[in-house]
Amino acid sequence: MQDRNEEGIEGVSLVAWEDSDGDHIPDSQGFLGVSKTDENGYYSFSGLTPGNYLVFVWSVDNWGEGEPLRGMVPTTPYVEDPNTDLDTDSHGRPGNIAWGLSSLDFVSGQITLTADGEPLSDGDREDDWFDYDPSGNMTIDFGFFVEGANSTADRIDQSLAKVYPNPGADFIRFETTNYSGHTLSLVNTQGQEVLQAELTTEVTPLNVGSLPSGVYVTVLRNEFGAVVWSANFVKMGR
């Protein structure tokens, strides 16, 4: 579910492939290029002809340090059929290793484009010369969220750490005895990491004065990058 205050994720790299024979496997010569999401999380591939296609969020430029999907996991369940024309479902399923894809490639089902039978109210672009709505499908979406951000108390030990004062305005402190090799991140509602700190003592001061007011997720990771604790933090205005 994408909540009302959740924006799209900027800078995510997606690729499109032809699937001309309709076997749900990318054509060997069907690579159609890369598209990156804009500041609102939107992406597009233009100039396509009627036919079958696959789109996927791939492992390149997305999951590394400082990249847009670092520390995130895909939403589940995913919807097998991307041709439902619904703009509220996620189509990313794990990639098939037989296609040469990794566990960090998330592929849509087979998208079938027609010349004039596509949804008319899905946000396609329009200009003075042509209305692109009948030939484009802008409902192929992929959902991701910060791992551990919605975990329940029986999955993560909430006594492991604390952040205070919470709410806070300028300087806050993060406290944990489990700090060796661990890192702390603050993630905004767009899924963007806005602050990161390496932990070297039990109490780490953090300057959050320059951050916009709102709700953030504080995420503690171990030396392997796995989430071991998370909690909401409310940043107050001054």
CA–CA distance, 225 with 122 (Å, rounded to integer): 37
Q: How many CB atoms lie within 10 A of CB 169?
A: 15
What is the distance between the alpha carbons of residues 83 and 51, in angstroms, rounded to a whole number?
Answer: 13
* 121-143 tens-digit pLDDT: 676 555 545 555 677 888 889 98
Backbone phi and psi for residue 82, each to the nearest 5 degrees, phi listed first: -85, 0
Ramachandran region, residue 41 (left: φ > 0; alpha: ψ -120 to 50; beta: rest): left
The answer to whether the beta carbons of residues 174 and 197 sit under 8 Å apart is: yes
pLDDT for position 99: 66
| Residue 130: per-residue pLDDT | 53
Is residue 82 scored above 70 in pLDDT?
yes
For residue 154, what pLDDT is reported?
Answer: 41
- The label of the residue with tokens 């959050």 reads 208
pLDDT(62) > 50: yes
The residue that leads in pLDDT, 155 or 32, is 32
Q: Strand locations in 26-151, DSSP E? A: 31-36, 51-57, 72-74, 93-94, 106-107, 111-113, 144-146
Give the pLDDT band (50/70/90) at residue 61.
very high
Asked whether residue 114 carries a pLDDT value surpassing 60, the answer given is yes
**pLDDT-derived band of residue 98, with 50, 70 and 90 as boundaries?**
low
Peptide bond into 68 cis (omega under 30): no
Share of the chain above pLDDT 90, in %: 29
pLDDT of residue 128: 47
Residue with the bigger pLDDT between 114 and 147: it is 114
Give the chain's domains with CATH numbers: 1-146 (2.60.40.10), 158-235 (2.60.40.1220)
Alpha-carbon distance of 49 to 33, in angstroms, equals: 15
What's the whole-model pTM score? 0.59
Q: Under DSSP, is residue 228 helix (H, G, I), strand (E, B) or coil?
A: strand
User: How many whole angstroms separate alpha carbon 97 and alpha carbon 120?
Assistant: 36
